[in-house]
Structure 1
Amino acid sequence: MKPLIGITPSLEKHSFSLPQDNVGAVLAAGGIPVILPYLTDAQQITEIAGKIDGLLLSGGGDINPFYFDEEPIPGLGQITPERDDFEISLVKAMLVQNKPILGICRGCQILNIAVGGNMYQDLYTQIDRPLLQHTQQAPREHVSHLIKIVPESLLHEMMGETEVKVNSFHHQAIRHLPNGFTITARSSDQVIEAFESKTHRFVVGVQWHPENLYRKDERMLRLFQRFIMACKENTTRGA
């Protein structure tokens, strides 16, 4: 039985929106994608977490700094409070059930916020050192900078290498991870590019967009395949 993978969309002009590459990557890796609406009822969110086998937190807009006890700075972009509320609640419900989570770009950031971390609202104005271009001016399937991966991490297992080129479309980034989570990749300017849980079966956040790269880069497809493999454990257990 193929696992059901809930994917969180963006909200644009009163319509849900999701780039097709997210769906394509899940299908290519052997999962069945299900696009999730934003819910506010705690019981409904718990029930959704109980029905899906894994959660893909997709990319999108900025995150409300309220969640990490900051006020908005001028560099903060457009936020969607409904999305923040839903995703944070859903992440917590998934973690209680120890179900796999893969966070991509914004999804990586909201995953960190949901577990008690914090973040930079705007890298370019909050970090006082030379930075790479983290918001690349190139097609999404183009890789723009290197990341260095921590050996013997789950990410290293999936990528098979300690240096990988990735694409980059963000101006926010993780600042601090809470206990129980570990950094698994950084860019050359020391921006956090990936992290994972030390205690859960599969909880991984990546700052780049592997869904745009999986067709041409087998390593990015392996990331989704390993995620789906972890999700399949729920189907065999009857979760």
Structure 2
Amino acid sequence: MKPIIGVTPLTNPDTDETVIRPGYFEALTACGAIPVMLPYTNDVTDIDQILGHVDGILLTGGYDVNPHLYGESPLPQVDEPQRELDALQMVLVPRAVSRDLPVLGICRGIQVINVALGGNLVQDIPTQCPQSHTHRMDPPFDAPWHDVSIVEGSPLGRLLDGEPSMGVNSKHHQALRELAPGIEPMAWSDDGLVEAVWMPQKSYVWAVQWHPELMFASDWHQRRLIESFVAAAQEHASAR
């Protein structure tokens, strides 16, 4: 049986539609999973029931995490909050992690994992890290924009056969600042920002700042990353 992956949505502020950008479903399906869209809810009982029926959680990219969730007032550059999504993820992430469910965070996903578990963010890289280069590339997004250095001996390093670096795409203006307890870096951007993390005490909680779902068809590094998440979900499915 294929693993079932719960995927978080976002709300299009122009149309008020709840959507998932197609690359996530395409990548998960191509790598052998069945993706399903999660509903907006912060009801603990409902979320626990959902988590009992999925084999992994994908936290997708999207709009900024509300800075009030990590005790700060938003800078002018920060998006209007996605309150329903924030409410869902602030409950979903800790409960999925506590169950040792496979979790992969992408772009906003790495940020929301860090915030939900007690870390914080750089709200706007150009304002707060002016020494950094731009992390917002122009389309197309299936090509690398900058390099990341992979931490030697990390799970990502082992997955990629010990390669010390790789090229990634980039479409964000926020970044991790102080890491939450239990989270360790796996990759750094070439200007010193954390670009990938994992939780050593969990079977599979990984997150990346770039968008592997937009590169997986042409870059084996990104496909292998998605495949590793699906494999972890498959292992969970087999144990259910």
TM-score range, shorter chain: over 0.9
User: In the alignment, which residue of structure 2 is the partner of 1:188?
Assistant: 190
User: In the alignment, which residue of structure 1 is the partner of 2:228?
Assistant: 226
User: In the alignment, which residue of structure 2 is the partner of 1:144?
Assistant: 145
The correspondence for 1:84, drawn from 66, 76, 86, is 86
- Partners of 2:166 and 2:225 lie apart in 1 by 13
TM value normalised by structure 2 = 0.96
User: In the alignment, which residue of structure 1 is the partner of 2:207?
Assistant: 205
Matched-pair contact (CA < 8 Å) for 1:159–1:220: no
* SS of equivalent to 1:51: coil
Matched-pair contact (CA < 8 Å) for 1:103–1:111: yes
Matched-pair contact (CA < 8 Å) for 1:124–1:171: yes
Aligned-residue CA RMSD (Å): 1.0
User: In the alignment, which residue of structure 2 is the partner of 1:73?
Assistant: 75
Matched-pair contact (CA < 8 Å) for 2:115–2:180: no
Distance apart, 1:235 and its partner CA? 1.4
Task: Give the number of aligned pairs.
Answer: 237
- Partners of 1:41 and 1:187 lie apart in 2 by 37
- Partners of 1:43 and 1:216 lie apart in 2 by 41
- Partners of 1:123 and 1:132 lie apart in 2 by 9
- Partners of 2:23 and 2:80 lie apart in 1 by 23
Q: Deviations over 1:155-193 (max 9, x none)?
A: 112233111000000001100112211111111110110
* SS of equivalent to 1:176: coil
Matched-pair contact (CA < 8 Å) for 2:56–2:103: yes
TM value normalised by structure 1 = 0.96
- Partners of 1:178 and 1:65 lie apart in 2 by 15
- Partners of 1:167 and 1:158 lie apart in 2 by 19
The runs of 5 or more residues in structure 1 that have no matched partner are none
Matched-pair contact (CA < 8 Å) for 1:115–1:178: yes
Q: Deviations over 1:121-165 (max 9, x none)?
A: 11110124x212201123111211000000111111223311100
- Partners of 2:44 and 2:198 lie apart in 1 by 26
Matched-pair contact (CA < 8 Å) for 1:136–1:144: yes
Deviation beyond 3 Å, 4+ runs, structure 1: none
Q: What is the aligned-residue identity percentage?
A: 38
User: In the alignment, which residue of structure 2 is the partner of 1:3?
Assistant: 3
- Partners of 1:237 and 1:157 lie apart in 2 by 24
Matched-pair contact (CA < 8 Å) for 2:6–2:36: yes
Distance apart, 1:57 and its partner CA? 0.4
* SS of equivalent to 2:52: helix
The runs of 5 or more residues in structure 2 that have no matched partner are none
* SS of equivalent to 2:203: coil
User: In the alignment, which residue of structure 2 is the partner of 1:35?
Assistant: 37
User: Once structures 1 and 2 are overlaid, which stretch shifts more, 51-60 or 149-158?
Assistant: 149-158
User: In the alignment, which residue of structure 1 is the partner of 2:49?
Assistant: 47
